[in-house]
Structure 1
Amino acid sequence: MINAPHSVLGLLEPLALALVNTVLISAGAFVVAVVLGLALASLRHLTGARALRLGIQVYVEIFRNVPSLTHLFILYYGLAYAGLRLGSMTAAILGLGLIGSASLSEVFRAGLQSVPLGQVEAGLAQGMNPLKAFRLIVLPQAWRVALPPIGNYGVQLIKDTSLVAAIGAPEIMFTARNLVVNSFETTLVYVLTAALYVAICMPLILLIQGVERRLAVSR
């Protein structure tokens, strides 16, 4: 239990510690989402196997259209019922990462499809095999298209970590609720919580805007 603090500093200290967990969850989920999302989009782009493409599409639709809390509950409570117990932090990272991978796979797919087919054909005509052409010609250009949406996803992910309080992950909102229960400083606790979210999201937003401007100039 968190002892009832009676000052802004006393409230801010546990929230700041929880912010570290929020960053860890966000970073871990972001890596899972980007790596898996790119893998899914690449397979879907390269493969001619109808069954594999259909399987990927089903995966994407399930994770995009089922509420996020449902996936988190299945990972944390459902797997524990089946005998596989995940820690709340692990379930949070894996759950948000899987959910994000479905969205990012569509972002990457749009980036891959934006590369003109003629450029790939030119690479093949110069002796490249399809994988080498994909790696050297398609991927770099797809990244440029996908980068701004990926950055926006990263900001949204930080805010979405508040969902994992439902499975007991000790992030900012989970800690804020405990502080309210123990201190009764409802307004102050949530104002400080909002300030911490702004403090972590604003630098990312400014960075994304800078990248978007540089990409626009380079085009």
Structure 2
Amino acid sequence: VWHTHSSVECNGLLSKSPENILKCLLKTSLNRYRGDISLEKFTLIIQLSDDLKFVSSVYRCLRYAVESNVNELKLGFCCPYSNYPDSYYNLPQLVFYAKSMALLELDSCKLESPRGNVILSCLMELCLRHVCADDQVIKDLLSGCPLIEFISIISCQGLKHLELPNLGKLKEFKVYDEYGLERVYIHGVSAHSVDIIALHILPHINIAACKNLKKL
């Protein structure tokens, strides 16, 4: 665990005991939280575990980050078994309501439908990698991001007809698909760069609304 006055970063991929890593991280987080210190960056990269204490500890870390008005949140989980439901970390709903967050990076997380309207009013950059989510979840997520400028969706499972809502600030959109994405519809009038790569068949792309597009 590495931390400074304004950031907490933890890379525990090489650790054989993610629980011990989290215990140390929680201790660090609690000390900072008691001091009422706002958080610029929170990074957690760790091996995934189905242990209930692991799930609880990660949740407490995320709650601390959100309540500390985190500006950048990066989460990554590694599992030796891929392409199975239990190889994803179920992202807690509280992340959908982190009003101060400007950057969100998720790797190997599962996103479920928000229980209410997403409120990510400051989010400008969203990066999803090896994320499991359906089309509606992504649409609901982006509907709560009025300031989003950059979106990257890399090797995400569960998407078929990806529709981006009217995002007035969107500048760049990137997709790398290897699971059979069939359709992409972008409403972002201000988008000037769209980059779509498909491992198998290129999806149908509707960018008629992108009046300022400079790169495709």
Q: Give me the TM-score of the superposition, normalised by structure 2.
A: 0.23
Q: Tell me which structure has the larger Cα radius of gyration.
A: 1
Asked which structure has the greater RCO (Cα within 8 Å, sep 6+), the reply is: 1
Structure number having the greater helix percentage: 1
Q: Greater strand percent: which structure?
A: 2
